[in-house]
Amino acid sequence: MKSFSTEDLKWTREPEVYEIAEDRVTITTQPHTDLWQKTYYQFVNDNAPVLQMETDEPYFSFTVKTEFTQSHTRFDQCGIVVYLDSENWLKGSIEYENEEYQHLGSVVTNHGYSDWATTAIPASVKIIRYRLSRWGADYCIEYSEDELHFQQMRICHLHKGAGTIRFGLYACSPEASSFTAIFSEMSLGECQWLAHDGQQPDEV
């Protein structure tokens, strides 16, 4: 399997301010940037900067450390993403809410409709590690506050998520805000999402 290198990353919507080094990426968000499609709110916002690499490897895990000490306005966010096109993608991140709490959550978008699953965590958390694992067209998002113990956030399916995909990092500020997100300790390796050992698949 090819190892991770920031040299392989390519922009979908390049932000005005960023830095890409061998061991870290920083992105300064621009106001009114986001990724969302239709559901409930009836609006489309598809202008967040996305930095990804391409792969056809069907089984892998990607981990990254995110630091967001500067986030300060509702919905400021940064995290991991699999962005295939404007209507098919997933993201996992923490979204700032207020001085008391923020939302650890994920959005999965298939055929132009987004969902949103969240849990509240203290606003004092300013560093989170994510692990994105791929099993064909199925994906698992996990998070860790200590880099050793990862907890499941989401298992999902991307209808266009088989074959060659792109995955990586994103940051945005849906409201009138800006902050700098820091990504480091990025690695790509064997899939850590193990094969299911419970109920067997139904026969077709």
Name residue 197's amino acid: D
38 within 8 A of 114, measured Cβ to Cβ: yes
In a domain, 134, yes or no: no
pLDDT digits (tens, 9 = 90+) for 140-161: 999 999 988 999 999 999 999 9
CATH number for 104: 2.60.120.200
Q: Would you say residue 168 lies in a domain? A: yes
Residue 91, domain member (yes or no):
yes
pLDDT digits (tens, 9 = 90+) for 28-75: 999 999 999 999 888 899 999 999 999 999 999 999 999 999 999 999
Beta bridge partners of 61: 133, 189
Q: Does 196 reside within a domain?
A: no
Hey, what are 94's tokens?
A: 């923490």
Residue 84: pLDDT band by 50, 70, 90 thresholds?
Answer: very high
Residue showing tokens 């409930």: 40
Which structural domain, as residue segments, surrounds residue 25?
A: 6-54+67-125+160-185
By the 8 A CB rule, do 186 and 4 touch? yes
pTM comes to 0.94
Residue 30 is assigned to a structural domain of this protein: yes
Q: What's the rounded Cα separation, in Å, for the pair 41 and 135?
A: 31
C-alpha dihedral sign at 90, 93, 96, 99:
positive
Domain count of the fold of the chain? 1
